[in-house]
Amino acid sequence: MLIRLSEIEDTQVLKGEMDSARFRQMGDTDVKLLKPVSYELMVAKYDDTVAIDGPVRVAASLECGRCLEGFDIELSLVMSIKLVPRTKLPDSPELELHGEDLDVYYYEGEEIDIDPFVYEEVMLNMPVRPLCSEACKGICPRCGKNRNTEPCDCPEAPLSLLGEKLKSFLN
C-alpha cells in the first residue's frame, strides 16, 4: 500500500492487507500464508521523519524442522519503525539501520510503499527453526518414520565417530 506524504497532515491510520502473491513478490520466501497479512498502522509525520506503528497479523503454514510436517501458526506482531529521507543518511548499502530501540529505515521521494516494511517485520518474526511442537520427536534417522505418529523400535543413534573423536580430543 502506498502512502503519499503530502496527504498526511499529522497522523493517519492505515488499514490494509497484503495477499500471498504480493507477499511473495517482496522477497525470496517459501512462507505460505493462510490468509492475507493484515495490518492497522498509525502513520505519523514529523517534518520529514515518518513513524509507523501498529499491529500486524499473520497466519501461515510452516514446515516443522524436525518431522517435516506442515503446521499452522498465527502471529500478532507490533510493528514500530521510523523512516527518514535517504538523503539524510550517509551512503550505505544496508537497507536497515539500527537505532537505539527502533528500527530506522530510509525512504525516497514523496510516496512510500509500506508493503516491503511489513514484509520485513513479518520475516524478522518468523521462527528461524520452526517446530510443530517443542515435544516433536522428529523423523527416525534409521528407518525414516515420523516418530510422532509411528513409533519405531530403532535403538537411539550412538555417538558418531566424529563425536567420539571430538570427545577424546576435548578430554
Q: Which stretch binds Zn ion (CB under 5 A): 16-24, 37-45, 92-100, 144-152?
A: 144-152
| Residue 143 touches Zn ion, criterion: CB under 5 A | yes
| Residue 81 touches Zn ion, criterion: CB under 5 A | no
Among 58, 67, 83, 122, binds Zn ion (CB under 5 A): 67
Among 52, 64, 112, 139, binds Zn ion (CB under 5 A): 64
Q: Please say which residue, 123 or 140, places its beta carbon nearer to Zn ion.
A: 140
Whole-number Å distance between alpha carbons of 145 and 148: 9
167 three-class SS? helix
Q: Please say which residue, 71 or 106, places its beta carbon nearer to Zn ion.
A: 71
Contact residues for 10 (Cβ-Cβ < 8 A; gap 6+):
44, 45
- Report the b/e string of 5-35 with b at 16+ CB within 10 A: beeeeeeeebeeebeeebbeebeeeebebee
Whole-number Å distance between alpha carbons of 136 and 16: 36
Among 31, 37, 52, 66, binds Zn ion (CB under 5 A): 66
Instruction: Report how many residues bind Zn ion under the rule CB under 5 A.
Output: 10
Least Å from the CB of residue 59 to Zn ion: 19
- Find the helix or strand (DSSP H, E) in which 24 lies: helix 20-25
Chain contacts with Zn ion (rule: CB under 5 A) = 64, 66-67, 132, 136, 140, 142-143, 152, 154
